Amino acid sequence: MIKVIIADDQEIIREGIKYLIEQDPEIEVLGVAGNGSEALELCETIKPDVVLMDIVMPEVSGVESTLLIKEKYPDIKVIILTTFNHDENISKALENGADGYILKDIKPKELILAVKSAASGLRVLHKDAFPSIVKKVSDQRKMSLIQKDELTNLLTPREIEIINLVVDGKDNRDIANSLFISEGTVRNTISLILKKLNLRDRIQLAVYAVKNDIG
């Protein structure tokens, strides 16, 4: 059973989210909070697996609360669930240790999947938020620690082509259609790339690619 806490300053939102995700028999909401401070207190007593965290709340914001929770309980997964798709909010939340950032227009089944994915250790990010992450890294590009020619030797032309499509925010189906290959081939290739570069997921891959000017 995945234990969840919902933090949102609007009761109707909290109850709506609770109702939706508890339609899945593997998820149980053990507490709700009206601000970031209450969320931290619930984490201390309940020790949930996942916290669904709004950003704009009184007293302590979701971004601040994420930092406090992750500092004390790094194993608790925090997903930012908000209506705001601002570059600064996204980057700050992820810097503070958030395990995901999704928008409230997400479909119920996708929300349930996001909770399960985070609980299993995967990072989740709303498709509309992905370009913001890449843009911010691009704007703040640092000197690469690895020479570009070394990366070119490490990666095949097809792998670099797929990386560029990941940076563009394309999902596996889009990439497969663009390159006229199967989705399975795309998944396998991305897994191989992650292993080669010692990265965890496609978000890290996109950030890494922009920082190192892969393309």
pLDDT (average), residues 136-141: 51
Q: What pLDDT, on the 0 to 100 scale, is given for residue 2?
A: 96
- State mean pLDDT over 58-77: 94
Q: Looking at mean pLDDT, say which of 47-51, 59-63, 174-178 comes out highest.
A: 47-51
Highest mean pLDDT out of 129-133, 143-147, 163-167, 187-191: 187-191
pLDDT-derived band at 128 (thresholds 50, 70, 90) equals: low
The encoded tokens of residue 181 equal: 């290959």
Find the DSSP H helices in the chain. Answer: 11-21, 36-46, 62-72, 87-95, 108-119, 130-139, 148-154, 157-167, 172-179, 183-197, 202-211
pLDDT band for position 104 (cuts 50, 70, 90): confident
Q: Is the per-residue pLDDT at 118 higher than 60?
A: yes
Residue 76 C-alpha from the chain's centroid: 14
Mean of pLDDT over the chain: 85
Lowest mean pLDDT: which of 23-27, 50-54, 122-126? 122-126
**What average pLDDT does range 84-95 have in this prediction?**
75
Provide the pLDDT for residue 146: 44
CATH numbers and ranges of domains, the chain: 2-134 (3.40.50.2300), 141-211 (1.10.10.10)
Q: What is the DSSP letter of 96?
A: T
CA-to-CA separations, 97 to 63, 83, 84, 175, in angstroms, rounded: 9, 19, 18, 29
| Residue 203 pLDDT class (50, 70, 90 cuts) | confident
Q: What is the mean pLDDT of residues 176-187?
A: 93
With a cut of 70, say whether residue 143 has pLDDT above it: no
Give the pLDDT of residue 89: 75
pLDDT at 215: 63
Neighbours of 87 (CB within 10 A): 14
Phi/psi of residue 166, nearest 5 degrees: -65, -45
Predicted confidence at residue 145, as pLDDT, reads 42
- Checking if the pLDDT of 140 tops 50, the result is no
